[in-house]
Structure formats: structure tokens, C-alpha cells
Amino acid sequence: MTTSAADNQPLTHRAARGAFLGSIAAVFDRLNALGIQAALTYILLKADFGIWSLATPIMGLATVLIHTTVRDLLIYRSNKFHLWSNPAAWLSMTLGIIAGFSVIILGFIAAHAYDSPKLTLILLIASLQPIASGITTVPRAKMSIDMRFGVIAAYLSATSIISWIIVLVFALLGAGVYAFPIGIAITSVAQCIVIWFIAPVIIRSSPQIRRWKYIISDTGSILASNFAKWARTQGDRLILGVFLTESMMGIYFLAFQLSLQTFSVITLNLSSVLLPALASLNREPERQIKAFIRSMRMLLFLAAPICAGTIVVATPLTNLIFDETKWNNLDTTLQLITAGMIFRAIEPPVKSLMNAQGRFKELLILNIISTITFALFITAILYASGFIGDENTPLYAAAIAGGAFHAALAVVLILVAFRKTDYNTFRAMLSLSQPVLYATLAAIGAWFAMMLIPQTLHEFNPYAFDIIKIATAIVAFLIAYSIIARIHKPEEFDTLAAFVIRMTPGKLKPLNTKLASVLFGCKPEHAQQP
């Protein structure tokens, strides 16, 4: 069977447009979050961030188990959505209510376990989130099936921006750490109203309880898999809470959030597009795996430079935005976490591929094994770090352990993803490692350029010194990366440029075309059209 050039595209034009618009919306969201978090660091204590870091995994557990489990199943069965939407809606709402009460109970347990009484009220307020998540599961699944990714991104970004603004307002009013759950609770109620308005789904009065058992039986593997994934991606904070003080937890949490702001702009948006797009290619495995590889390379060509650039400018950036004396270990922690963050970019697309292929049990086994391994590994590292005299060692050890584990996991995930295909795994690893290598080389060049700034400028004006270092690093990084792009000329640059130009308002298209040609040697007109 022959395929056209369009057949080799990982996404339809509609999905690609949604991914692009989603990334733009996410950029504004992350910038808003970064600005408000920076303001909060001057208002709240480090211990407040530390307490909140212990509450978020408990909330995340309830949301992941309720929302993504049913949603993934509905997307997998997109051709029979009309048959399963009603019982799925009633089931997810019921589970959401159960999860809300579970969060309250876990709040009492966590408050006792970590000797932090504030956790009880924090999780009581935040219990509205899983309830809202259960109510909005089906309409959000319908939007994903319809590939309304631009709408999804706008909705998520708007709710996130509003939530952070509410948090800031209540923090200024003196709510302390309780400002976080109050912002989430208010936004959760509002999002229920909005999501059902923009994506209405017909729900009958009969809950069709007899069908619940089929949904539950089919979602069992997804449920367990999501639980294992949560334990590895968020549960580490519950382990860290045993070894680190609340102030250290606050530094780790803030550094992780800052790193996640840049990482999630690209990764999470593309991953939300990949699942329904790859699921639509289940009957064409050759096209599906080519779509996956091309999407992964495109993801890494976007995510790797962002992560590498963050590492380079971490110190001047944190010195410029945050109180240097209050958050004196933030820059090193941010660099260590971000170094491992690029390897986390592998997991969401691989999960999307395996879910699209219906490999739920295999994904479950992989997640269970990796979760147990991760818990044992990070516990051993943190325990060993306690024998080193430096008080900051456990903090840095936690960041290094997470990065090292996810680097090893990325290799395993690639091997698993290609296990049932004819594609050469070693060739795939080389192909996917190129963006990381190019970003690393560009980052090294940017770091050397930044080091040329005379230190005497810091004594004259510290703020000007940091701004100049950041600007120098960014310019040097772009120059180095553009040189590499011109030498190697990967087709992803042409495709990315084509996407950007296609979504640009008409009057700016000639300018963007010229910039793409000058900076990266791109020829968007040669890109394969989706």
C-alpha cells in the first residue's frame, strides 16, 4: 500500500492547529503563573510552600484516578461514545464525590503523619477539585474526540490564570497557605459551569448502573496504571516530606513548579493531541508508528532547547525575580530538576501511544515496576544523603535522584514502545537523542558567552548584571542553535516553521517566513503538509 506525504504526518491539520494554539495559550498561562508565584514568594513563607507541596499529591491522586481513567477509556472507544457517555458521566460524578470525601479523610491522616495540622483544613477546602473533575470528565473527553484542542487549551489556561489570580488576592488578604486551596475551590465551581456550556453532552435521568461494571472492568488496568504513574510523578513529595524540612520542601516544590512551567507548555499540549490522533490510526500500524516518531522528534526539538536554556539562565533569573537571601538554594535545585525534566518528556507520548493501541495491561505492569523501583531508589538516595554533613545535601540528592531515574526510564520506555514494531530501536534512540544533543551544545555556548560578562558590573548594579547575563545567554543560545540547525537541517524545523507561519495573521506571515529562513535556514514551503 502506498502512502502520500500527508500520510506520514503525525497529526491532522486540525489537531496540529490545536496543538499550536494550545501552546500559545499555555505560554500566557505559564507566564502568569510564573509572575504570581514570584509575587507569592515575597508574601508567603517557605514553609507555606512546603505544606502545600504535601497537599498537592493527595489532590492529584484523586483527580488522576477519577478524571483521566474514564476519559482515556471514552477516547479509546470514541466510535461508540454515544453508547457510553451517559453511564460514564454518572459513574465519573459518583467517583468524584467519593474522591472528594477521600481527600478529606486523607487530610486528617496526612496532618497526623507529617505533624502539620494545617493539612486538614487545606484538603477540606481542596476536596471540591476532584468533585468538579468528575463532573467535567465526559464533556472534556468529547472535546478531545472532536479534536477541539484549541478550545481545551483556552479553557485550561483561562481557569489556571483565574485560579492563580484568586490565590494572589487571598494571599494579600492574609490567608497564608490557605490561599492555594481557596483559589482551586472557587475555580473548580466555575469550571463546571463553563465546560458544560461550551461542550454540552446529553445526560439521561437513568444512570444505567448495569453498564458501570463494564466500564469499571475495562478501566481497571488504566486505573491501576494511572495510580502507579501518580506515585512516581507526584508521590515522591510524600517520601521527601519524611526526609526534608518544610522549608526545604518549599524550595524543592517551587523549583519543580518553575521547571514544570516550561516543560508542560509543549509536552502536555502535544500529549493531549497525540492520544486521539494515534487512536485514529489503530488500523494502520505503520502510519501510527511513523506518526509517533515524528511527533516525538518535534516535541524534543521544542522541549530540549527550553529545558537547556532554563538551566543556563537559572541563577541570574532566580536572583532577579526572587529574594536571593530567602531562596538561596533555589537556583541549583532548579538546574538539577530541569536537567532531568527533559527525560520526563518521553513518558506522556509513549503513554499516549500505548493507550491508543489498547496496551493497558502492559502499561500497567510497566508503571507498577517503575513506581516500586523509583520509591526504593529515591528512598535509598535520601537515606544515604543523611550521612553527609551538609544540610542541603538531601535537597540536592532528591533532585538528582529524580533526574537519574527518569533518564533510565526514558530508555526503557522507548524499548517498550517499539517492542511490537519492526522499527529499529537503536535507530529510534539515536534519532530522538539528536535534539537533546543539539540543545546541550547550544547551552554550553550560551554559558561561555554569559561568563564573559565582567563581574564588576554586579558590584555596580546587581539587577542590570542579571538582566545582561540573561539577555546574553538567550542571544548566544539562539545563535548556536541556529548554526546547528543550518548544519543538520532536520525536516522538523521546516515543519515547525510551516505550522507557525500557517497560524500567523496574514500581515505577519512574510516576516515570520523571513525570520525562519535567516535564523534557522528553514524552508517552510518544503515541509510536508498535514
Cα gap 118→52, rounded to integer Å? 9
pLDDT value at residue 500:
63
Q: Which of 322, 302, 301 is nearest to 258 (CA)?
A: 322
Give the pLDDT band of residue 11 (cuts 50, 70, 90): very low
Give the pLDDT band of residue 6 (cuts 50, 70, 90): very low
pLDDT value at residue 186:
92
Alpha helices by DSSP H, listed for 173-284, are 179-198, 212-233, 236-243, 246-279
Average pLDDT of 204-220? Answer: 73
Give the pLDDT band of residue 7 (cuts 50, 70, 90): very low
Please give the residue that has the higher pLDDT: either 207 or 166: 166
Q: What is the percent of the chain where pLDDT is above 90? A: 13
Instruction: Say if residues 143 and 201 touch (Cβ distance below 8 Å).
Output: no
Q: What SS3 class is residue 4?
A: coil
Give the pLDDT band of residue 180 (cuts 50, 70, 90): very high
- CA 190 to chain centroid, in Å, comes to 23
HSE value, Cβ hemisphere, 13 Å, CA-based, for 443: 19
Q: What is the pTM of this model?
A: 0.75
Instruction: Say if residues 103 and 58 touch (Cβ distance below 8 Å).
Output: yes
Q: Which of 383-397, 429-443, 485-499 has the highest mean pLDDT?
A: 429-443
Cα gap 504→307, rounded to integer Å? 25
Taking 70 as the threshold, does the pLDDT of residue 395 lie above it? yes
Instruction: Say if residues 378 and 236 touch (Cβ distance below 8 Å).
Output: yes
Q: Which of 135, 139, 160 is nearest to 148 (CA)?
A: 139
H-helix or E-strand spanning residue 514: helix 509-520
Average pLDDT of 436-450? Answer: 91
Cα gap 204→208, rounded to integer Å? 9
Q: Which of 35-44, 98-107, 344-353, 476-485 has the lowest mean pLDDT?
A: 344-353
Q: Which residue has 544523603 as its cell numbers?
A: 385
Q: Which of 259-268, 299-308, 464-473, 481-490 has the lowest mean pLDDT?
A: 259-268
Q: Which of 242, 251, 294 is nearest to 110 (CA)?
A: 242
pLDDT value at residue 5:
39
Return the C-alpha cell found at 301.
526539538
Taking 90 as the threshold, does the pLDDT of residue 306 lie above it? no
List of residues 6+ apart from 165 with CB closer than 8 A: 32, 36, 183
pLDDT value at residue 12:
45
- CA 120 to chain centroid, in Å, comes to 27
Return the C-alpha cell found at 11.
497529526
Q: What SS3 class is residue 336?
A: helix
Cα gap 30→370, rounded to integer Å? 29
Whole-angstrom CA distances from 81 to 39, 139, 150, 183 are 44, 11, 21, 33
Instruction: Say if residues 54 and 239 touch (Cβ distance below 8 Å).
Output: no
Cα gap 227→102, rounded to integer Å? 15
Domain edges within the chain: 9-488
pLDDT value at residue 3:
40
